Structure 1
């Protein structure tokens, strides 16, 4: 009976996790373990989905034990695409659905140990992928006489 009483007392006194808000934000891992975090709206973009396997491969070369955690707010097709890409690289992928979680992230890639990285946001690490390509228009310089005579 004491184990039941202990269980009731533990549940009544609240969570036993250290820093539960941080754990909810990063899908059950601590911020110091995160190596890449993609915002929910960015994770749905086609350009991010296309570049993600290459990015995972580069991260795997630097951090050998990675895990991928996905938001349940991503579409099913997007979740499946990310999971399939992670599995080809032997990276465990999980969809984390916690009741009280309000995470702004769609994807969190983390290591099994503390990495303490300053920049983890996808938009900070890979701004050239998210920024639209601006084509430079070559303006032909016309000289004075060309303008005057129209040739």
Structure 2
């Protein structure tokens, strides 16, 4: 490992530590693309209902982190904050005054997972097995 020069030490002292992929981090609320499980645009986060894919992903990845766009109103973000608290998922509201991204929510890991498709295009219903009702076949054979 090479030893940093005096100029590099001074630059880091003035501007902070060097950051990998700063443009990508600004776009993806402080994380990088290769760590993202799912993402929603601001308009999707602003909808009244929680996307079931987000809840499903929180269930599948309990060690994930939730990043929310701090440039949105808390009323729009609160349903996801409550969901994260319920699922015991760490969450962070990220506000960048210099750059406003169109992304409203990101669920990401602390390491690379390289998921090909991260954006949710539409809500999908998570099918649940009906309870209490028996089908015709079960009624005939008294199961």
Q: TM-score, normalised by structure 2?
A: 0.71
In the aligned structure 1, how far is the partner of 2:44 from the partner of 2:77?
A: 13
Counterpart Cα distance in 2 of 1:6 and 1:119: 37
Is the contact made by 1:24 and 1:100 (CA closer than 8 Å) also made in structure 2?
A: no
- Give the secondary-structure state (helix, strand or coil) at the position aligned to 1:85: helix
2:18 to 16, 19, 25: 16
TM-score for the superposition, normalised by structure 1:
0.67
Q: Aligned-pair RMSD on alpha carbons?
A: 2.4
Partner of 1:58: 56
Gaps of 5+ in 1: 130-151
Aligned residues: 118
Quote the Cα distance in structure 2 between the aligned partners of 1:82 and 1:128.
Answer: 15
Shift of 1:51: 3.4
1:140 matched residue in structure 2: none
- Residue 71 of structure 1 deviates from its aligned partner by 0.7
Contact 1:56–1:86 under 8 Å retained in 2? no
Structure 2 residue runs without a partner (length 5+): 1-6, 125-143
Checking the alignment, whether the CA contact within 8 Å between 1:22 and 1:31 is kept in structure 2 is yes
The C-alpha deviation readout for 1:27-51, integer Å capped at 9, x for no partner, is: 11110011111011111012xxx23
